[in-house]
Structure 1
């Protein structure tokens, strides 16, 4: 059988990440914005400025630098449905004033009120102030951008502009009563600079950081046949900015945009302005975010070098910094890297020089600056290097031959149409072949039956990168045991006690490429199947009717699902978290928890990917369910249910696709006093700490108008009651004070609007 690689390329592997956030505090401020305006006017007057209010018909003329403004009472600019200004308020600019700016050159410009206004500002840029649909940028609050009294309520936008073209900028307030004075600053983001647009006008670079902006750059450099930039794309650098650097010392000189630019960069260094004089180049360097770059070369003191910084393609441009480091430590190489050649790593090269050279001669990616010593490299090492076990595995004699020749598809099981398998018996020693090439691998399924409880022992002998799985006969199968994925293991062994029934063995490579048919002995394997009697009695709580009773206050209980069977009850479709509703080899508990929040968890305490579900009875309704709880290692689970101290529940614990052992913990956590609207706690202006960990979900559902593009889930919520202390806007904020993704909603009353 051929099985496509589930990742995105031959050197990638699928990852599963989870986030878990804890809860800290929130802040409520009322009339603060109005008070800030008053305080700023009184305590921080703008000295030496003559601020003026302007209209669209008679806008104030602005140029690069600061232009004094004052808000224009009653002028409203409604951008609802046109430009999303604010995440916390309306898309209306109140008491707006207009300025007109003519761009002196092509490029990107920034208009901002950061640190220069006394009021909570909003800003928008238009090509025609009489046509609101001509808006090209808008903003309410920008992180780190404060008004004169320190609150982060000032605004900042960037916009592209053409030389000689007029742009109209509206600056106003957050709400209908928001007004004040200040200034708007307009500046180029650096993209309009002409220096560095050619090698002849190269900017002078220094050791350390050097700012650049390639937005206005037009020159491309074709290094095809001269320098290989990397494994992705062509060898052309697009929209280049040039630097000239005089080396102050001889030695290893490093040039880097690694993590210093928000776009996919490319860099190259030259001995002169001639393209043919290229010394070194790089596209993507390992470990550098946003596909940024790094290179090193041997520099000579007193020599001037030309450095080009550009993009991967014509759309890759922006502002960033070039780091120049003289006498940089040399990069890892074969023999100097700390990577174990036999184990996958995130950086290139490995510690055994001879092994490293053998592997990289076959697969240059393993030693390239934009590569890594990944699983494919480690497998090649297991095939080529004696230090990783190559050639040390002796295949035993066989008594059965695989019915599928190398490259055919005759026993692919669940991965093939018709589910073809090869039937074998206990005692079989199967001689077979497997392969992996072009992001596709061979999978061989063998089926056997045992008449009584048996300890199955499977051994896989191979000089290639193989692994064996013991599974049941279903599609999708439950994994009962598997060999260690270390390709150097000989034999790879899997063992499990199973009940009477039919089972399958899956033999597959641990890689999806670099191992085609014709690789020789490494394509061959011998699979040995043996069995001995065992007690395969299922756990006493295998079914809901015989559920294990849990004390009211809870307990930590060890469990083992390896001999459990599958219960007939299907999982509720609402339990599907994106990976289906299957639950395998489950066991049951009965619990009548004391009053509070009943918590059941395998979080980080199980050897396999667990699933949990709770019901009001054996054949009843689902109370709660979970597959992977955020922050729980190993894809383990947790559910919380509000208990009245009298109602019983049935708890189901199983696996996503496997079995194992672990500890399940039942605890009762006090319910927050303000878990429901009726118990809302009264708060006043200032900060109030909170913790939603034991909260439950409340009604009513969020208003559809609250959907900001992410749906309307609102989970584990708590409630507060607030009485306004004065007229004006109230700001309720968890901004920077909560360590998880929060949501806020305000109502006129419990059950109100």
Structure 2
């Protein structure tokens, strides 16, 4: 579990708070303000803006769940009249982003680091604004900075999944608890047997997420781990439990950031007891730490571990190794036509 914290590195907010407000509607203002002072505001939706934080200073950092960033940041003022919103930096932002919302007292109201993008390291955040003033930050991870494109629009809830039907072994953890977190929490992997179906719940809320770790005694060869979930999910095959101090992901799969999807991880491994991980996650395996609270309708999952079908033996006539005996193989044979070298 990770606590959400904020570090205030800026000075003189009282001096800048009186600056005139520039109301921003539509697209292309140029970027947010240096400080959360209300000088650049979002007053209507949809809204989009492009900027470059590289020449700004590092005024704040929010932990969700990663801390210690020295990236510069910019801010946009908002008020509660915007209601439920979705903020996204997914599409054309060129660096590893972070976005968060501060309330009028500069406390963190909501935060997201990794959720989307082709690498999984771009940010997307859903929030329900109530009465009051808020400051939306465009920030970065671990000092990264660059050009960003941000859009803010009304929140559109994901389409509910079909009724979830799982017949198998209950994971034994109530949604909202974290009792089978494996190496994350210093507890043993929960054993899962060959062919056993596990039925459980996962969640992501308030800057942290549930991670479920299972242990599978693998006889060697192909290992497959499949997770089907209502929330966007990741499936990871992890080093054995004895290696928790240096736990590493061996093979990974994800549902491409989609709800009601399937994550599939597979690899060829020596005999050992490996960790199998299920959690809320985005494309590329990035963690998602917001947006899927318990009771939100996107918590159920089923998971299955087993030995996969070994690959077929290589074909002797498939010289180029493309899985077929074809004209290219004939070309290679003819190119070597003649007496064998002495």
In our comparison, the structure showing a higher alpha carbon Rg is 1
Relative to the length of structure 2, the TM-score reads 0.49
Relative to the length of structure 1, the TM-score reads 0.25
Q: Which has the higher contact order (CA 8 A, sep 6+)?
A: 2
